[in-house]
Structure 1
Amino acid sequence: MIKTDEPRLENKAAATPAGGDVNALFAEFMSAFEEFKSTNDARLAEIEKRGGADALFEDKLDRLNALLDGQKAALDKAAVDRARPALEGGRAHGGDEYKDAFSAYIKRGEEKALSVGSNPDGGYLVPAETETEISRLLTEVSPMRAICGVRQVSSSVYKKPITVSGPQVGWVGETGARAQTTSQTIDELSFPTMELYAMPAATQNFLDDAAVDVGRWIAEEVNAAFAEQETGAFVAGDGVNKPTGFLDATIVAEDSWSWDNLGYVATGVDGGFPGGVDPVDASDVLIDLVYALKAGYRQNATWLMNRATQAAVRKLKDADGNYLWQPAAQANGRASLMGFPLVEAEDMPDIGSDTTPIAFGDFRRGYLIVDRQGVNVLRDPYSAKPYVLFYTTKRVGGGIADYDAIKLLKFGAS
């Protein structure tokens, strides 16, 4: 039976103040992981001895998984808060007339000073500092932006030529005949940008507050909304009024891989890992997935999965009894799986019949995010009185840039 004198498990994600002691949080996280390992080891020992484990083990592991996830979220938030520059009370830098004009437009709707970036719809480009801040915040909260390639463009569609196969070559003797070789095959990838919007609201009293940095306020209000919508599209978007996600591609068994498809490795079990409760058998398919990726991509590869899948992966061991999942070595680092960094994306599917909840690859080469320069803001003080709405839009696209750089683990028989 599982011990009843276990330490109390507390999820401190919600209780941790912004900018808390990151080192203390990290120490708590590592302590929870050690407790997780000892509980899982006891569960496996009981399975080996009796052929099954007490349900209390599973219950405690679920709670420890939730605790680890909560503490990691608290760590990430504290690290981001500590890294943010101090606000300067909304004081504009001297000589930045456009920033002053933008602030006047946001606060009072004064348009006469805005001549740069105006458009026929009455909206205005946000200052470059705010646009950069929005992009920075998006990178911090969007797992896909943190690992994928990002390109800024000035047109609505970005086209990228790519060599699918190189020219034919061969060895030849000094006086041997040289037959004409076939030329390389070039494909063109197209990345159209789609409009993404958010509409934060504020009271006029809030905007009139001299301490409000309107650029920072706009950035922080829209970044979470943008990041949530973007991540879902980059993972599984269908390309209709949104970017095309990498999971929208046709998938084929790795042995039959060809361009325009993503290759997968099957677990051999419908909806589960092989080997049942044996964590060593389950780890074999992860090794197969790692080596399905070519060495040139593998050196910069990353795992991508959601929180529930990561909870299952935490229990896996190698043949020597070492856990494949390891926590970050430092407070602001990433967890790793088999030595490769692991990134959480809640839009990845759960483990189920014939699903592909685990992706592994060099996403910086495999998936391209395209941002059209400029973020527009349209002030609307009429539609939701007494609130002032700010219709904020940006154009973004995305799609697979290299079909050979990302591999999937399919939880199916074949």
Structure 2
Amino acid sequence: MPLSTKETDMLKELQEKREKLVADARAALEEINKNTDDARAAELEKRHDDIMAEFDKIEAKIEREQRTAEAEQRLADQSAEERSRRRPVPGGSEGRGHDEDEELEYGDVFEKAIRFGAASLGAEERAVLLEGRADIPQEVRAQSTGTDSAGGYTVPEGFSGEIDKAMAAWGPMWDATIVREMTTSSGNPLPWPTVDDTAQTGELKAENAAATDDGSGDVAFGQKMLNAYVYSTKMVRIPMELLQDSAFDMEALLDDLFGERLGRLANSVLTTGDGANKPQGIVPAAGAGVTAASATALASDELIDLVHSVDPAYRSSPKCRWQFNDTTLAAIRKLKDGQGNYLWQMGDVRIGEPARLLAHPYSVNQAMANLGASARPIIFGDHNRFVVRKVRGFTVITLRERYAENFQIGMVGFKRFDSELLNAAAVKALTMAAA
């Protein structure tokens, strides 16, 4: 379902406003750098922070609009034939389509109106919708009796026609453009050999003398093991009444929600997992980079030291980046160098250039710790050395027989994965001082 003219105009207006905010923020930064009056500098810094706060709100709103449009498109692509086939009907049939000689059903007409709008209805369908069905009782069906929040809100009774799905950012650790992803067809243990020969060098050999052969030049190998831990979404039981009477495709909706559940779970485990019968998270596995002087605050020099604690060979990787949560980002955006320039550098949304910190891109990961005593709130390094092993795809199983006596089906999702940081020298962490 394409965006309406009104929605397109609104999205365009938001994008234009976002571009103007970027230009205004850049102008504010330039004025700050030229200014020498401390009082004026404080005023300009506040103006810059206010602009960026508004920019963040616009960014979030644009993302919501785009995700809503994508969700609407998916719903529109579900044909009436597919819906009829998937839901049971009396008599044991799997479902049926509408025949022109058959009487129009109120539920089918209502569904069409909800999905495609009243303008899509013919004269006969409009009449059925307006007249309604006197024999239909008030609907209060839900996953548990009398609990609207468990599904009852989706049953036709004159509601808005769409579901507002709560959102929460969960992070980058499942993103193959940020970490190194490996997908396998089976879940057998996968050994990954490693070698660190960086301490070795060659030697000057005298004429006619033999090369050193005392074992000091031998190569020492190591090994990382990638397993396949199973994670689930937890079981959701759905009454057949809800599947039959809901104006929404409940199974498709749960597929989406299950994917997000496991996405949030995976990001958390891949970030902070301790490796004990679970994946090894990138934060505990990262090498020791810098220890901050404070337990609650950052200094600009500490971030510079963290960058240089990682060998230049890793810093040159296309996947070398920072990670921290949004609260830490807010603190970082206020840091300046010795010349009064902000360490944080604004990107250019017009050409897809991301914001940077000390010339390197960053990812906001809400699973990272806040600034606090002994915490590791910031990591930096080559994320290509962090391997996420995935086994096949995300699996959703529908149990139709197990709960049949209750006139219900069960749905549950599964994903198998593991992770390892191949070399602790590739990614380093900033550790806050102890209390």
TM-score bin (small chain): 0.5 to 0.7
Q: Map Cα deviations across residues 106-147 of structure 1 (whole Å, 9 max, x no partner).
A: 75599x9xxxxxxxxxxxxxxxxxxxxxxxxxxx97411221
Alpha carbons of structure 1 residues 312 and 40: separation in structure 2 relative to 1, 3 Å: farther
Residue equivalent to 1:295: 312
Q: 1:194 is matched with which residue?
A: 229
Counterpart of 1:125 in structure 2 is none
| Structure 2 residue 14 is the aligned partner of structure 1 residue 25 | yes
| 3-state DSSP of counterpart to 1:399 | strand
Q: Distance in 1 between matches of 2:202 and 2:72?
A: 55
Equivalent of 1:268, from 293, 306, 324? 293
Aligned residue identity for 2:403: Y
> Are 2:231 and 1:242 equivalent residues in the alignment?
no
Name the amino acid aligned to 1:238.
D
The count of corresponding residues between Structure 1 and Structure 2 is 338
Is 1:74 matched with 2:61? yes
User: Is this contact kept in 2: 1:290–1:360, CA < 8 A?
Assistant: yes
State how 1:158-307 maps to structure 2 within 5 Å.
158-165=190-197, 169-180=202-213, 181=215, 182-198=217-233, 199=235, 204=240, 217=253, 219-240=255-276, 242-249=278-285, 262-274=287-299, 282=300, 284-299=301-316, 300=318, 301-307=320-326
Given that 1:90 and 1:214 are in contact with CA atoms closer than 8 Å, whether structure 2 keeps it comes out as no
Unpaired runs of at least 5, structure 2? 1-5, 95-168
Q: Does residue 330 in structure 1 map to residue 349 in structure 2?
A: yes
Call closer, same or farther: CA 1:152–1:213 in 2, change over 3 Å: farther
Residue 296 of structure 1 deviates from its aligned partner by: 1.9
The one-character-per-residue Cα deviations of 1:349-392 (angstroms, maximum 9, x if unpaired) are 11122322111111122x11111124251425729966533111
1:83 shift after superposition: 7.8
State the 1:223 CA deviation: 1.6
In the TM superposition, what are the counterparts of 1:96-107 in structure 2 within 5 Å?
107=87
Which structure has more relative contact order (CA 8 Å, sep 6+)? It is 1
- Bigger-Rg structure (1/2): 2
Distance 1:216 1:382, change over 3 A: closer
Cα deviation for residue 343 of structure 1 reads 0.9
Maintained 8 Å contact 2:181/2:390: yes
Corresponding residue for residue 411 of structure 1: 432
Structure 1 residues 183, 39: closer, same or farther in 2, change over 3 A?
Answer: closer
In 2, the alpha carbon distance for the partners of 1:405 and 1:20 equals: 46
Aligned to 1:371: 390
**Cα gap change, 1:289/1:24 in structure 2, threshold over 3 Å: closer, same or farther?**
farther
Supply the distance in 1 between the matched residues of 2:67 and 2:60 (Cα, whole angstroms). Answer: 11
1:89 aligns with 2:77: yes
Counterpart of 1:327 in structure 2: which amino acid?
A: M
Matched, 1:399 2:386: no
Q: C-alpha distance in 2, partners of 1:23/1:410?
A: 43
Q: Could you state the TM-score of these two structures normalised by the residue count of structure 1?
A: 0.65
What is the CA distance between 1:228 and its match in structure 2?
Answer: 0.7
- The alpha-carbon distance between structure 1 residues 247 and 364, as it changes in their structure 2 partners (threshold 3 A), is same
Q: Percent identity among equivalent residues? A: 22
Deviation (angstroms), 1:413: 7.5
Relative to structure 1, is the Cα distance of residues 386 and 328 closer, same or farther in structure 2, using a 3 angstrom cutoff? farther
Any idea what the Cα deviations from partners look like across 1:228-264, whole Å, max 9, x if unmatched? 1111111112334532212233xxxxxxxxxxx6122
Gaps of 5+ in 1: 1-16, 93-99, 113-139, 250-260, 275-281
For the 8 Å contact 2:171–2:364, the answer to whether it is kept is no
**Stretch deviating more after TM superposition (390-399 or 232-241):** 232-241
Q: Deviations over 1:22-49 (max 9, x none)?
A: 554344345556666859988xx89945
State the superposition RMSD in angstroms.
Answer: 4.5
Cα gap change, 1:288 to 1:168, in 2 (>3 Å): closer
Q: CA offset at residue 271 of structure 1? A: 1.9
Shift of 1:307: 0.7
* Post-superposition CA distance 1:198-231 (Å, at most 9, x none): 2456564675699988986454221211111111
Letter of the 1:273 counterpart: L
Q: 1:145 to 1:385 in 2, by over 3 A?
A: same
Residue 373 of structure 1 aligns to a residue whose secondary structure is: strand
